[in-house]
Amino acid sequence: MPIITTSLDHGKSFVTAFANANIALVKYWGKANRDLNIPLVPSISFTLNSLGTFCHVEKSPDEHDHLIIDGQEVDDAALGRFHAFLTYFRSQFSIDERFTITTKNNIPYGAGLASSASAYASMSLGLSHFCHLDLSEKELSLLARVGSASAARSIMGDFVALPGGEALGHRDAFASPIMLQNKPDWQMVIVIGNHQQKALSSREAMTITKQTSPFFDAFVKNSHDDFLGCKDGLITGNLETVGAIMEHSTLKMHASMWAAKPSINYLQPFSLSAIELIKAFRNRFGPVAFFTLDAGPNVKILCEAPIAERLSTHIQEKLPNTTIVCSSLGQKAKILDDRAL
Ligand code: DP6
Mutation probe of ligand 1 site: the residue of 43, 150, 220 with most atoms within 8 A of C-beta: 150
- 48 by Cβ neighbours in 10 Å (0-12 / 13-18 / 19+) ranks as buried
pLDDT, position 3: 39
CA gap 166, 40 in Å, rounded? 6
Q: Residue 46 contacts by C-beta under 8 Å, 6 or more apart in sequence?
A: 22, 23, 25, 159, 186, 188, 302, 329
Helix (H) or strand (E) holding 282: helix 269-285
- Ligand 1 centroid, distance to 297 Cα (angstroms): 14
Q: How far is the CA of 197 from the centre of ligand 1 (A)?
A: 15
Give the pairing of strands 323-327 and 334-336. Answer: unpaired
**Sign of the CA dihedral with 292 first, then 294, 298, and 303 last:** negative
Q: pLDDT of the chain along its 341 residues, tens only?
A: 333 333 454 444 899 999 999 999 999 999 999 999 999 999 999 999 989 999 999 999 999 999 998 888 887 666 888 999 999 999 999 999 999 999 999 876 545 565 799 999 999 999 999 999 999 999 999 999 999 999 999 999 999 999 999 999 999 999 999 999 999 999 999 999 976 766 898 999 999 999 999 999 999 999 999 999 999 999 999 999 999 999 999 999 999 999 999 999 999 999 999 999 999 999 999 999 999 999 999 999 999 999 999 999 999 999 999 999 999 999 999 999 655 55
β-strands 38-39, 72-73: how paired?
A: unpaired
pTM: 0.94
d(CA 84, ligand 1 centre) in Å: 17
- Residues sharing a CB contact under 8 Å with residue 71, sequence separation 6 or more, in sequence order: 104
Probe target for ligand 1 pocket from 81, 202, 245, with the most ligand atoms within 8 Å of CB? 202
Q: DSSP label at 297?
A: S
Ligand 1 atom with the shortest distance to the CA of 26: 18
Question: What is the number of the ligand 1 atom nearest to the C-alpha of 150?
Answer: 2
Three-state DSSP at 167 gives coil
Whole-angstrom distance, CA of residue 202 vs CA of residue 294? 9
Residues at CB less than 6 angstroms from ligand 1: 24, 27-29, 37, 43, 114, 116-117, 148-150, 202-203, 294-295
